Amino acid sequence: MYVKNTKEILDKANKGYYGVGAFNINDLEFLQPIVSAAVEKASPVIIETSEGAMSYAGDGDFRRGAKILADMVKTLANEADVPIALHLDHGHDIDHVVAAIQAGYSSVMIDASAKPYEKNLSLTSEVVKIAHSAGISVEAELGKLVGIEDNVSVSERDATLVDPGEAKDFVDRTGVDFLAPAIGTSHGAFKFKGEAKLDFDRLRTVKEFTKMPLVLHGASSVLPRFVEEANKYGADIQGAKGVPYDILKESVKYGINKVNTDTDLRVAFIAELRKTLYNDKPQIDPRKLFKPAMAAIKEVVMERMEVLGSVGKA
């Protein structure tokens, strides 16, 4: 069932101490296996689209793309007997936020984390006013998404990661519904140079101060089996490293409820697609090439639902 307000899903996860996967899509090839995984695992799920996904789906017109994506998600969600929400990921301006709201998204993210604190606060407050009047929820971000390096000093860490005191002030003054605190993850397939680690003390303090659903961006695990397969069949993604499952589980234990995942789906899809192209050279039917890649996405999503504890929580 299509959920009009993502807050319903995340408030429940916050009370029940589990995480819900938020998976990025651009097209039906990613959406279909995610929905199918949620149904099979009786799990709630959040589908998200970036501004780039909106433009891609609308062939350059993000408003049209938002409508196409939302119609597609609502159609599949309404046939499924699990809660499914649609979220705008990393909205950077009011135009994209309004396009998502008008298309019927369940929530929006306003990401002004690169701006000075007071600017982030005022833009987020403006988005909260617009979104709440439409009955949908808002996510915002504090701090910068960079990996924790071994030799980084405490003061350098304080300068990039979330400041828990600021998080409390930000939440109180903006009325935002979920917060993404930077605690040492980064986007993409190369998250850590050395050992994977996150700042759990910081996460625990943010949770204690805000008590709200928290979001982990850059949460892909970059599964070695798919990285190896992709490289075997011609890719060049050497040295890729993600957030291991035990660290994801710990993040959920300390208060993360929305777990953003894009890279894992990309890597699994590309690995399987490369393998199929290599093994079935005469094949020219894209559906036959995409099917195994879509199955790999379903496998990754189901595995993450187990890790995050959302199985059976529909």
Q: Which residues are catalytic?
A: 89
Q: Does 55 bind ligand G3H (CB under 6 A)?
A: no
- Nearest of 113, 114, 25, 131 to residue 76 by alpha carbon: 25
Q: What part of residues 180-199 is at the interface with ligand G3H (CB under 6 A)?
A: 187
Cβ count within 10 A of residue 193: 11
Q: Which of 24, 205, 221, 276 binds ligand G3H (CB under 6 A)?
A: 24
Nearer to Zn ion, 217 or 275 (CB): 217
Nearer to ligand 13P, 90 or 96 (CB): 90
Cβ contacts of residue 289 below 8 Å, gap of 6+?
Answer: 273, 276, 277, 280, 283
DSSP 19: -
- Nearest of 132, 130, 113, 86 to residue 180 by alpha carbon: 113
Nearer to ligand 13P, 189 or 277 (CB): 189
- Class of residue 311 by CB neighbours under 10 A (exposed 0-12, middle 13-18, buried 19+): middle
Q: Does 217 bind Zn ion (CB under 5 A)?
A: yes
Name the one range near ligand G3H by CB under 6 A: 46-54, 96-104, 191-199, 205-213. Answer: 46-54
Residue 261 interacts, among Zn ion, ligand G3H, ligand 13P, none and using kind-specific CB cut-offs from 5 to 8 Å, with ligand 13P
Q: Does 53 bind ligand G3H (CB under 6 A)?
A: yes
Contact (CB, 8 A) for 259 and 22? yes
Q: What part of residues 222-261 is at the interface with ligand 13P (CB under 6 A)?
A: 260-261
Binding site for ligand G3H (CB under 6 A): 24, 50, 52-53, 89-90, 187, 262
